[in-house]
Amino acid sequence: MKAKLLVVTTLVLAAFGLALAEGKASPRPGVGVRPGPRVALMAETLGMTPDELRTALKRGGLPALLRKKGLTLEAFRRAMIENALKRLEAAYDAGRVSKLRYQEAKARLEARLLALKAPRLGELVKRSGGDLKKLQSEIKAVWRSEIEALYRLGLLSAKEKGRLLAELDARVKRMLARPLGLPMRPQQPGLRRPGRRPGQAPPPPLRRRR
């Protein structure tokens, strides 16, 4: 039982934990990458051995590696999850995963794949031609399709599906009404974040009162 759970957990975490594939956490050149299920899945997806992948990431980072392979980040993410689905199918066929665990993991992976395949906001803006009402209709159509798909996958109950569909109009209006600010707050000149100065010794550990 523990072995079956480990197979499912490894595949799902490898596909969901795409920290190495996310732009904000992409390995930088010279940064080491520890071996593990995520690295193994990445290497298999790129047609490399784990050692070759770690060497490539240390030399140039993930963006440079993807450019060399002729892949976009989005295409790589999709390929990672599709590969995880294939490995999950193989594990289930070999009897290493129970039917319940297989169905749960497959639903979660397919939901993640569905989200990656959804059109981006920029595409919907172009498609709408700048018409706000048409843009709202485009966004609602995408979300409605995803809600229906998640319901079919068993990740939403009938009650949750009904609630989300009923809230579509309000959710879209709130999203489009949000102020478009910077995704980061620039640090003010002369101010330092709290922390140790270079060369400063760390503070002594707190002692518990007896």
- Is 141 in the same domain as 99? no
The answer to whether residue 152 sits within a structural domain is: yes
Q: Mean pLDDT across the stretch 197-203?
A: 53
- Is 49 in the same domain as 133? no
The answer to whether residue 33 sits within a structural domain is: yes
Q: In the prediction, which pLDDT does 161 show?
A: 93
- Is 58 in the same domain as 123? no
- Is 26 in the same domain as 77? yes
The pTM of this model reads 0.58
Q: In the prediction, which pLDDT does 33 show?
A: 59
**Percent of the chain with pLDDT strictly greater than 70:** 68
Give the integer Cα–Cα distance in Å for 51 and 111: 31
Longest Cα–Cα distance in the chain = 69
Please enumerate in sequence order all residues whose Cβ is within 8 A of that of 111, keeping only pairs 6 or more positions apart, or say none.
149, 150, 153, 155
Domain boundary, last residue among 81, 108, 135: 108
Q: In the prediction, which pLDDT does 182 show?
A: 55
Rounded to the nearest 10 degrees, how much is the dihedral formed by the CA atoms of 187, 189, 195, 196?
140
**Percent of the chain with pLDDT strictly greater than 90:** 19
The answer to whether residue 16 sits within a structural domain is: yes
| Contact (Cβ atoms closer than 8 angstroms) between residue 43 and residue 53 | yes
Does the pLDDT of residue 174 top 80, yes or no? yes
Q: In the prediction, which pLDDT does 122 show?
A: 74
Q: Mean pLDDT across the stretch 100-120?
A: 85
- Is 82 in the same domain as 126? no
pLDDT grade, residue 15 (50/70/90)? very low
pLDDT grade, residue 59 (50/70/90)? confident
Give the integer Cα–Cα distance in Å for 127 and 130: 8
pLDDT grade, residue 183 (50/70/90)? low
Q: In the prediction, which pLDDT does 70 show?
A: 93
Q: Which comes out higher in pLDDT, residue 174 or 178?
A: 174
| String of DSSP letters for 121-144 | HHHHHHHHTT-HHHHHHHHHHHHH
Its domain, for residue 128, covers 118-178
- Is 6 in the same domain as 100? yes
- DSSP reduced 3-state for 197: coil
Domain boundary, last residue among 108, 141, 165: 108
CB crowding 123-161: b at 16 or more within 10 Å, else e: ebbeebeeeeeebbebbeeebeebbeebbebebbeeeeb
pLDDT tens digits, 69-82? 999 888 898 899 99
Region of poorest pLDDT, from 58-62, 127-131, 134-138, 183-187: 183-187
The answer to whether residue 195 sits within a structural domain is: no
Domain boundary, last residue among 90, 108, 126: 108
The answer to whether residue 124 sits within a structural domain is: yes
Q: In the prediction, which pLDDT does 208 show?
A: 52
Give the integer Cα–Cα distance in Å for 20 and 50: 14
Q: In the prediction, which pLDDT does 141 show?
A: 92
Does the pLDDT of residue 24 top 50, yes or no? no
- Is 90 in the same domain as 144? no
- Is 6 in the same domain as 82? yes
The answer to whether residue 210 sits within a structural domain is: no
Does the pLDDT of residue 25 top 90, yes or no? no
- Token look-up 């051995």 returns 49
Q: How many domains does the chain have?
A: 2
Does the pLDDT of residue 112 top 70, yes or no? yes
| Contact (Cβ atoms closer than 8 angstroms) between residue 20 and residue 42 | yes
- Is 139 in the same domain as 164? yes
- Token look-up 């523990």 returns 2
- Is 29 in the same domain as 74? yes
The answer to whether residue 186 sits within a structural domain is: no
The answer to whether residue 113 sits within a structural domain is: no
- Is 27 in the same domain as 57? yes
Of 76, 91, 90, 6, residue with least CA distance to 42: 76
- Is 94 in the same domain as 126? no
